[in-house]
Chain A
Amino acid sequence: MAVNAKTLNETEFFYGHKACAGCGGSLAVRIALKVLGENSFAVLPAGCMSAVGFNFPQLCFGNNAIISTFAGTASMLTGVEAGLRAQGITDFHAVGFAGDGGTADIGLQALSGAIDRNDDILYICYDNEAYMNTGIQKSSLTPFGARTTTTPAGKNIHGNLRPKKNMFEIVAAHGIPYAATASVGYLNDFMRKVEKAKSIKGTKYIHILAPCPTGWGIKTNETVEAAKEVVDCGLWYLAEYENGEFTLNHRPKEFSSVESYLKKQSRFRHLTDNDIEIITASRDKKWEYINKNFR
Chain B
Amino acid sequence: MAKKFLSGNEAFAYGIRLARPQVISAYPITPQTIVVEKLSEFVEDGSLKAEFIHVESEHSALSCAMGASSVGARAFTATSSQGLLYMAEGLPYAAGGRFPIVMMNANRSTALPWNIYGDQRDSISQLDSGWIQAYAENAQEALDLALMSFYIAEHKKVSTPFMANLDGFVLTHTYEVADVPSQQQADEFLPAFETENKMSLDTPKNLGFSAGPDTNTYFKYKEHIGILNVKEVVREAEERFEKVFGRHYTGLTESYRTEDADYILITLGSISGLVREVVDKLRNQGRKAGLLRIRYLRPFPNEEIADALKNAKAAAVLEKDISFGNEGTVYTNVNSALQKAGISIPVSDYIGGLGGKNISAEEIEGIFSSIAKEKTVVEFLGIGGEDSGG
A residues at B contact (CB < 8 Å)? 38-39, 41, 43, 50-51, 53-57, 59-69, 71-72, 74-87, 89, 91-92, 109-110, 112-113, 116-117
**Cα distance A77–B68 in the bound complex, in angstroms:** 9
Closest chain A residue, CB of each to CB of B49 = A86
- Report A-chain residues with C-beta under 8 Å of the C-beta of B205: 64
Q: Does B215 contact A (CB under 8 A)?
A: yes
CB-CB under 8 A for A55 and B63, given A69-B93, A116-B56: no
Q: Does B212 contact A (CB under 8 A)?
A: yes
**Cα distance A77–B207 in the bound complex, in angstroms:** 13
Shortest B12–chain A CB gap in Å is 21
**Pair B206/A59 contact, Cβ less than 8 Å:** yes
Q: Which of B53, B60, B73, B210 contacts A54, CB < 8 Å?
A: B210
**Cα distance A72–B91 in the bound complex, in angstroms:** 13
Stretch with Cβ within 8 A of A (4 or more), from B104-112, B135-143, B196-204, B230-238? B196-204
Q: Which of A56, A61, A71, A84 contacts B71, CB < 8 Å?
A: A84
**Cα distance A59–B89 in the bound complex, in angstroms:** 23
- Report A-chain residues with C-beta under 8 Å of the C-beta of B93: 69
How many A-B residue contacts, CB cutoff 8 Å? 155
Shortest B46–chain A CB gap in Å is 15
**Pair A55/B56 contact, Cβ less than 8 Å:** no
- Report B-chain residues with C-beta under 8 Å of the C-beta of A39: 201
- Report B-chain residues with C-beta under 8 Å of the C-beta of A63: 204
- Report A-chain residues with C-beta under 8 Å of the C-beta of B64: 75-76, 78-79, 82
B residues at A contact (CB < 8 Å)? 22-23, 25, 50-51, 53-57, 59-61, 63-73, 75, 89-90, 93, 199-201, 204-212, 215
CB-CB under 8 A for A77 and B204, given A55-B210, A72-B60: no
**Pair A83/B69 contact, Cβ less than 8 Å:** yes
CB-CB under 8 A for A56 and B59, given A79-B25, A86-B50: no
**Pair A61/B63 contact, Cβ less than 8 Å:** no
**Pair B210/A86 contact, Cβ less than 8 Å:** no
Shortest A107–chain B CB gap in Å is 10
- Report A-chain residues with C-beta under 8 Å of the C-beta of B63: 68-69, 71-72, 75-76, 79, 110
- Report B-chain residues with C-beta under 8 Å of the C-beta of A53: 206
**Pair B209/A83 contact, Cβ less than 8 Å:** no
**Cα distance A39–B199 in the bound complex, in angstroms:** 11
Q: Beyond A63-B204, A65-B207, A83-B22: 19 further Cβ-contacts under 8 Å?
A: A41-B71, A54-B206, A56-B211, A59-B209, A64-B71, A66-B199, A66-B206, A66-B208, A72-B59, A75-B55, A75-B59, A75-B60, A75-B61, A75-B64, A75-B67, A79-B69, A83-B73, A89-B71, A110-B63
CB-CB under 8 A for A82 and B23, given A41-B199, A56-B215, A110-B60: yes
CB-CB under 8 A for A79 and B210, given A66-B199, A87-B73, A113-B56: no
